[in-house]
Chains A and B, each alone.
Chain A
Amino acid sequence: DVKVTQSSRYLVKRTGEKVFLECVQDMDHENMFWYRQDPGLGLRLIYFSYDVKMKEKGDIPEGYSVSREKKERFSLILESASTNQTSMYLCASSLGSQVGSPLHFGNGTRLTVT
């Protein structure tokens, strides 16, 4: 069974801090994704990666960056946290580009920026 692990369930950070959210998957998936979930807005794609050291902007990349140095690990970086980045962050992975390959999500990191 695919396991996507996000290192923190809850984080509280101050405005201006640099924040790292870590995600690890154990099924050798090529694709990895970072979403944020906000009430009334659903899941919105921040960044994704289809290979090591490759990254693509999603729909809302502003204020974020990512790092994928190893296939199993995908990190989301908030360079200077702001209160509007308070949200639930969800990491996901999928196998290749097959149409029927669903996303497998981690349990999320609830980030509060004060």
Chain B
Amino acid sequence: DQQVKQNSPSLSVQEGRISILNCDYTNSMFDYFLWYKKYPAEGPTFLISISSIKDKNEDGRFTVFLNKSAKHLSLHIVPSQPGDSAVYFCAAKRVNTGFQKLVFGTGTRLLVSP
């Protein structure tokens, strides 16, 4: 049972445009969400996170939006750059579990073309 879903396996955008990566979750107990970026032959690196008490968190070109009623979050990258080409994983956890036991989505491969 996939509790965190990324329904788009890939996304292509042009440099300078907006990239929107989507993520849905089914477990209403999740209350903290993260995005990781993964380049080939490297481990995932943390990108941005959001708590369920917020609906938006922004860090430079990256913004994460959370819609709790829809159990949906999205990552916006503006403007997109070729160096953003990578696989993006969303992840979720329940804060009161005490440990960083994250549930990951299946990933979306983003390709930003010049």
Contact = CB atoms under 8 A, between A and B. Distances in A.
- Do the two chains belong together in a single complex? yes
Interface of A: 4, 9, 31, 33, 35, 40-45, 48, 50, 56, 58, 90, 92, 94, 97, 99-108
Given A31-B99, A42-B4, A105-B44, 17 more contacts: A4-B43, A40-B9, A42-B105, A43-B44, A43-B104, A44-B104, A56-B99, A58-B101, A90-B43, A94-B100, A97-B98, A100-B49, A102-B46, A102-B100, A103-B100, A107-B41, A108-B43
B51 interface: yes
Contacts of B103: 45
Interface in B80-110: 89, 91, 95, 98-107
A102 B99 contact: no
A101 B41 contact: no
Nearest to A103: B100
Given A99-B51, A99-B95, A102-B49, A107 B42 contact: yes
Interface residues of B, number: 27
B75 to A, nearest CB: 15
Given A31-B100, A45-B101, A94-B100, A40 B106 contact: yes
B34 interface: yes
B45 interface: yes
In the A-B complex, the 4 residue pairs with the closest CB atoms: A105-B43, A102-B46, A43-B104, A42-B106
B104 A102 contact: no
A48 B101 CA distance: 8
A96 B57 CA distance: 23
B43 A102 contact: no
